[in-house]
């Protein structure tokens, strides 16, 4: 299992605390330093069953600068969104856990982290 985190994020720190309390075996990826490629983002999206706009933090300064709220949310615009996430990783919702069963989830609650552990 791998968890994508921003150490400055309270939700990420909480998720790590739950994983540690449960004795989970996991790898931490500080995705602002170890930036996921477009292919890795596509893979995580497939595992999540979501589209790139579903995991985009639209309130971030970079999102506002790019005008993301006005971008179309359709198949034709999908690659543009993925490229934006790869270029501006701070826009990626966090934390994301890739579970051992091949799925992934955005683990913003303790319940979501425990769900990932049960997979």
For residue 77 the two structure tokens come to 């615009």
User: Among the options 1, 2, 9, 43, which is catalytic?
Assistant: 9
Distance CA 82, CA 41 (A): 7
Could you tell me the CA-to-CA distances from 54 to 5, 11, 51, 113 in Å, in that order?
17, 18, 5, 19
Asked if 12 is an active-site residue, the reply is no
Secondary structure (3-state) at 22: coil
Provide the edge-to-edge strand list for the sheet that holds 27-30.
27-30, 2-5, 96-98, 104-106
Distance CA 30, CA 23 (A): 20
Catalytic residues: 9
């Amino acid at each position: 299992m791998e968890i994508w985190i921003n150490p400055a994020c309270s939700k990420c720190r909480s998720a790590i605390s739950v994983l540690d309390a449960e004795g989970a075996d996991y790898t931490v990826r500080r995705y602002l330093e170890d930036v996921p490629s477009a292919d890795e983002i596509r893979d995580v999206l497939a595992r999540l069953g979501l589209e790139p706009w579903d995991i985009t933090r639209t309130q971030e300064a970079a999102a506002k600068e790019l005008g993301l709220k006005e971008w179309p949310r359709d198949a034709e615009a999908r690659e543009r969104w993925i490229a934006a996430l790869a270029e501006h990783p701070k826009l990626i919702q966090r934390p994301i856990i890739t579970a051992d069963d091949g799925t992934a989830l955005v683990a913003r609650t303790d319940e979501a982290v425990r769900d990932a552990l049960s997979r």
